[in-house]
Structure 1
Amino acid sequence: MLADLSPLIAATAQWLTRAYPASGGALASALCEVQARQAVTVAAWLRYPTQTDAALVGMAGPGGSDRLDWITGTEAVGGGAGQEGPDDGHAWRTWVDEVVASWAACLLTDPELAGLAVAALAGGSHTAGTPAEFRRLVAPDEHDRQAAALLRHPDLLAPVAELYQDGLLDRLGPGQALIA
C-alpha cells in the first residue's frame, strides 16, 4: 500500500501551475511552483491526515483532473502548439485530487486561512519529527506575489476554490482536531 502522498501532491501542484502559470522567467516559475507545492502539501495533509487515509487514496486513486480542466476551460486545449489538455497522454493527470486542488486554491488566495491551516497541522502525523516550512504560502514576499500573480488571484481561482471551500472551513473550524 502507498502511504505516501507525494504523487498526489506533485500532480496537483503541477495542475495548478499549468492552469495558473507564472508570469516571468525561470525564477518566477520556480517561485510559483514552490507556492503551489506548499499549498497543495498543506491541503493534502489536511485532507488525508493519517497514513491510513493516505494509503486508501493511494489504492483508490484521487480522481483526476477532468472536472477541474472543464471548470477552468482547459478541456478544449488538447495538445496544440506546446499546450497540453486532459487528453495529452500524461498519466500524472490521474493523480490530481480535486478536493486538494480546491483547498489549495483557498489557501493561496487567503493568507489568514493559510495560517490557520498550517497551524492545524502541528502535531499531526505528517509533521511528526520533521519541521515543515510553509513561509512562501503564509507570508509571501513581493517576488512571490509577482511570480504567482495568476496562482494567487482570488477571482481567477474562485471557480476552483468554491468547489470544496466549505469542507476546508469545516475542517479548520472550532473544535475540529486532526487525528494524529
Structure 2
Amino acid sequence: MHTDLSPLIAATAQWLTRAYPPCGGALSSVLCEVQARQAVTVAAWLRYPTAMDAALVGISGPGGAARLDWITGADASVAADADGQAWRTWVDEVVASWAACLLTDPELADRAVAALAEGDHTLRTRVDFRRLLAPDDADRRAAALLRHPDLLAPVAQLHQGQLLDVLDPGQALIA
C-alpha cells in the first residue's frame, strides 16, 4: 500500500512529459520533468489529502491514461507500442487535469500550494514548489509545450471545475 502516492505521481508526471515533451536537450528534459512532477504532486496531494485517501487509491488504482490518450490523440501511438506500458495504469486522469490547470495558471498554482497546508502530506515536511510557482526563463523554455495554455486546454478542462471547488468550496453555488 502506497500512502505517499509515489506510483501515481511518477506515472502521471511521465504521461504529461510524454504528451507535452521538453524543448531542448538533457537539461531541458530534467527541468520539464521537475515542473511536471511538482504540478502533479500538488494536484495529487489536493485530490488525496489524507493518508487514508492515498491508501484507498493505492488499493483501487487511479484509472489509467486511456481517456487522456484519446483526448490528446496519442491513443494510436500507444496501441502500437504497448510493450512495457504497465506504468500507464497508474496515471490519474483527474490529477493530470488538475496539474495541467496548475501549469497554465500561476494564480491557481499559488492557491493550490497554499491549500496543501490543510492536508496530511505537508505535516512533517517543508516542500518547495519553486519550479511550479516561479519558473525562470530556462524552466519556461524547457517546458514550453507543458505550460502552453492552448495545448493543455483539452486536458485542463476535463476536471477544472472540481479543482476550483476544492480550492473555493461553495463558490460554485454562489456564481
Q: Normalised by the size of structure 2, how large is the TM-score?
A: 0.94
Hey, what does 2:52 align to over in structure 1?
52
Hey, what does 1:94 align to over in structure 2?
89
Q: Is the 8 A contact 1:65 1:97 kept in 2?
A: yes
Larger mean CA deviation between 87-96 and 143-152 belongs to 87-96
Tell me the distance in 2 between the aligned counterparts of 1:51 and 1:31: 29
What per-residue deviation string (whole Å, max 9, x for no partner) do you get for residues 117-151 of structure 1?
00000142100121011000011111100000000
SS at 1:78's partner residue?
A: helix
Off by >2 Å, runs of 4+ in structure 1: none
Cα deviation for residue 29 of structure 1 reads 0.3
Hey, what does 2:138 align to over in structure 1?
143
Tell me the distance in 1 between the aligned counterparts of 2:115 and 2:31: 24
Give the CA RMSD over aligned residues. Answer: 1.5
Hey, what does 2:126 align to over in structure 1?
131
Q: Which protein has the bigger helix share?
A: 2
Cα deviation for residue 7 of structure 1 reads 0.2
Tell me the distance in 2 between the aligned counterparts of 1:33 and 1:15: 10
Match of residue 168, structure 1, among 140, 154, 163: 163
Residue ranges of structure 2 left out of the alignment (5+ in a row): none
What per-residue deviation string (whole Å, max 9, x for no partner) do you get for residues 46-104 of structure 1?
00000000000000000000000000000111376xxx5xx343110000000000000
Hey, what does 2:38 align to over in structure 1?
38
Residue ranges of structure 1 left out of the alignment (5+ in a row): none
Tell me the distance in 2 between the aligned counterparts of 1:7 and 1:58: 9
Alignment map for 1:107-122 (pairs within 5 Å)? 107-122=102-117
Number of aligned pairs? 171
Cα deviation for residue 175 of structure 1 reads 6.8
Tell me the distance in 2 between the aligned counterparts of 1:134 and 1:101: 17
